[in-house]
Structure 1
C-alpha cells in the first residue's frame, strides 16, 4: 500500500517528535500498512528534519543483515539508514536518562577513503576502505517497548539509530580477515554475546557492496570520508544504569562502555 502525502508527512513528524522529545510512540504499521518505498521516504524526511536542526551525516548503517532477522520481520534483504555526527559519543559513556530504551551491539566499521560507485563489488569496497574500526552501536527505538511488528517500521525509524562509540584503533583492511574477525561482548564481567564477521552476509564488505547498489535507488551513494557500520554481529543487549561492557574484537581492538 502506498501512502499519500499527508500520511507520509504525518508519520515523519511523529517519528521526528519522538526522536527529539525521547517520548516513544506506537508502531506506524499499527495504524496503516505501508510498503518499503514509503518507509524509506518517511526515513528520509525524518533525517532531513534532524539535519535541519543542525546535525550532519557521519555515515550509513546497515541492519537486518542476517537471514534470520530478515525472516523474522518479513523482508528479503537488509535495511539501511544514517547516523549523524551528533550521535557519535565523545566518551564511552551512555546516559540512559537521555534515551528511551538503549540497547548495545557490536559492529565492524569501514572508513572509506574513496567513493564507492554502483554497481559495487566486494573488491571495490575493500579497495576504497582506508581503515577498519571497532564500533559499538547504541540502538534506540522510537516505538514503545521496542514493539516492531514490521521491517517497514524499523526502516522508517532510521533503523533504530541512536548513539555510536567508535574505537581508537584503526587497522589496515589488508591486515584484517573481515569474515573471520571475531567479537565477544561482556557485561558486568560475564559474556553475553559473540559472533564473527561472517555473520554479516558472509562478509561485511559484501554487505557494504549491497548497500552501495541499493543507495542508487534513493539517489544516494557511498562517499569518501564516511564511516559505514556494517550491521550488528551480536544480539542487541538491553542497557541499564550501572552496566559496564567490554567489547573485545579479535584483531581490530576493543571498546569499554558504561551506562549511567
Structure 2
C-alpha cells in the first residue's frame, strides 16, 4: 500500500532530526515498507530541509551500490544516487568526527562535466562530455543505529549515506587515463587497509554516470555542465577514528592525505 504524503513527511522528519541532532535512529524499514520511489521522495525532502538552496544549488551527484554484488545484497537491480551539497565539501581541513555519528572513508573517481547530459546517454557520451577526472574521498555517514542497512530503500532515504566530500587538486583529461584501470590504495597510519580499481565500478566508471543521466529524467532533473559526479566507491569503506591519518593514493590522479580529529 503506498505511503501517504503525511507518512512520507513523518519519515523525512525522523531522518532530518537524526541528521540535525546526531542521534541515530532505527532504520525506516522497521516501521514502513518503502518503494524505491518513496525512498527518493524522502531523500529529496530531507535534502531540501538541510540545504539552504535545496536541489537548485548543488555541487553535483553521488552514486552508490555500483557493483552487482551490493545490488544483490540489498535487493535492488540498479545503482542508487543522491545529491552533493556545497556545505558538505571540506576544503583543506580535517575530518570533523565530533560533528558526525559514525563516519567511514572511501575513495572514488569523480568526473566534472563540461556540458549538460540528457537522455539518451551512452558511456561514450559521458566520456565526451567530461571536462576532467578528479580524485575524490567521501566521508560516508549513516543516520541509522550501528550502520544498520536492511534495505536499499533505507540507504536511498538516508541521503545515500552522504556525509562529507573531499576533492583532490589533481585534474586529468579523460583521454589521458584508462578509467577501468585507475587504481587506488587507502592507508591508515601508514598501513594499507583497502584497494580498488575502476573496473569494479560497473566495468567502467563512466557507465553509472550514463545510468544516472537516464535515471534523473524520472525525477525531472538532469546532469548539468560544471557538476561533479562521484562514480561510487572503489575501495571498501573504513571506519574513521579521531587522530588517525589517511593516505589515499591513486594510480594517476595523485594522492591525498587527510587527518581525522
Q: TM-score, normalised by structure 1?
A: 0.97
- Aligned equivalents of 1:122, 1:68: Cα separation in 2: 21
Query: Aligned pair 1:10/2:10, yes or no?
Result: yes
Q: Within 5 Å, which residues of 2 pair with 1:234-245? A: 234-245=235-246
- Aligned equivalents of 1:35, 1:60: Cα separation in 2: 21
Q: 1:76-116: CA deviations, max 9, x gaps?
A: 11100011110000124101111000000000000111101
Query: Aligned pair 1:130/2:126, yes or no?
Result: no
Q: Once superposed, which parts of structure 1, at least 4 consecutive aligned residues long, lie more than 4 Å away? A: none
Which SS does the other structure have where 1:124 is aligned? helix
Q: Which runs of 5+ in 2 are unaligned?
A: none
Is the CA contact (8 Å cut-off) linking 1:16 and 1:50 kept in structure 2? yes
Q: TM-score, normalised by structure 2?
A: 0.97
Q: Which runs of 5+ in 1 are unaligned?
A: none
- Aligned equivalents of 1:171, 1:52: Cα separation in 2: 32
Q: Aligned residue pairs: how many?
A: 260
Q: Within 5 Å, which residues of 2 pair with 1:129-148? A: 129-148=130-149
Which SS does the other structure have where 2:199 is aligned? helix
Is the CA contact (8 Å cut-off) linking 1:197 and 1:204 kept in structure 2? yes
- Aligned equivalents of 1:124, 1:100: Cα separation in 2: 39
Is the CA contact (8 Å cut-off) linking 2:187 and 2:246 kept in structure 1? yes
Compare 14-23 and 230-239 and name the one that shifted more: 14-23
Is the CA contact (8 Å cut-off) linking 2:81 and 2:156 kept in structure 1? yes
Is the CA contact (8 Å cut-off) linking 2:48 and 2:54 kept in structure 1? no
The structural deviation recorded for 1:53 is: 7.0
